[in-house]
Copies of this chain bind each other. A is one copy, B any other.
Amino acid sequence: MHSVDFWSMTFVFMLAAFVGFDVIRNVSRLLHTPLMSLTNAISAIAVVGSIIIAGEQKTTLSTVLGTIAVAASVTNIVSGFLITDRMLKMFHQQGQKR
Contacts and interface: CB of A to CB of B under 8 A. Distances in A.
A23 interface: yes
Interface in A1-53: 4-5, 8, 11-12, 15-16, 18-19, 22-23, 26
Nearest to A16: B15
- What is the predominant secondary structure among interface residues of chain A facing chain B? helix
Contact of A22 (B5, B8, B11, B22): B22
A53 to B, nearest CB: 21
Contacts of A8: 5, 8, 11-12
A4 B7 CA distance: 13
Interface of A: 4-5, 8, 11-12, 15-16, 18-19, 22-23, 26
